[in-house]
Amino acid sequence: MTLRLGDTAPDFTAATTDGEIGFHAWKADSWAVLFSHPADYTPVCTTELGRTAALQSGFAERNTKVIALSVDPLKDHHGWAPDIGAATGTELNFPIIADADRTVSELYDMIHPGEGDTSTVRSVFVIDPAHKIRLILTYPKSTGRNFDEILRVIDSLQLTDAHQVATPVDWTKGDRVIASPALATDDVLERFDNVEVVTPYLRYVDDPS
Ligand code: BEZ
């Protein structure tokens, strides 16, 4: 199934390290990050899940729940979890889906046949409170992701949902933002503080939040 930005994230029921989860009911009206990793007991995945666990308070501050997935069985997830804590210094603190029958992987197109085997690639879906898909990332198996970047995108989505702004290259929370190109410059000058008009379409303003 090809999923695109703005699509409703498919619902599913799955076995996880925290028991059976119905995805929409579990995330309820929170934001969610659903991400796949290729396999348990592998080095890059161990670092990724440890880093995600370490960022848990950052996700919680953004009203965001995190859930991981691989096609390994539940017993492997439970066997591997202590290694994540021992290797990275942060115990696993979010559920991992055991997608042994590949139901969820196929729903979200997380298995790419050209990528060596039938394990999942490194997919990331950011899903909003209305269950709409707002970010899709796909990384190769050999490249660990940057989970600070995922937090940064959530910050941008939450800010730009609330105000008529966009966020420029390399923006991080608190930096100046860009007024929506849909607004006339007169409007921008009226609505925002500290406007810098670089071109008629590039107007930097203070973060209005
Ligand atoms: C890893 O997590 O280390 C890994 C998994 C699959 C392929 C390459 C690396």
Checking if the pLDDT of 38 tops 90, the result is: yes
Q: Superfamily for 13-145?
A: Glutaredoxin (3.40.30.10)
- Degrees (nearest 5) of the Cα angle 186, 182, 158? 110
The minimum-distance atom of ligand 1 relative to the CA of 48 is 2
Can you give the pTM of this predicted structure?
Answer: 0.97
Distance 26 CA to ligand 1 centre (A): 28
Distance 44 CA to ligand 1 centre (A): 5
The minimum-distance atom of ligand 1 relative to the CA of 45 is 2
CA dist., res. 21 & res. 97, Å (int): 9
Determine whether 173 is an active site residue.
no
Q: pLDDT tens digits for 108-155?
A: 999 999 999 999 999 999 999 999 999 999 999 999 999 999 999 999
Distance 84 CA to ligand 1 centre (A): 14
| Ligand 1 contact, 183 CB (< 6 A) | no
DSSP assignment, residue 8?
B
What's the average model confidence in pLDDT over 45-67?
Answer: 98
Residues in CB range of 67: below 8 A, 6 or more apart: 16, 21, 23, 26, 32, 33, 34, 35, 94, 95, 96, 97
Q: Which residue ranges make up each domain of the chain?
A: 13-145, 163-205
Q: Which two tokens stand for residue 204?
A: 């930097």
Which residue of the set 21, 33, 34, 45 is catalytic? 45
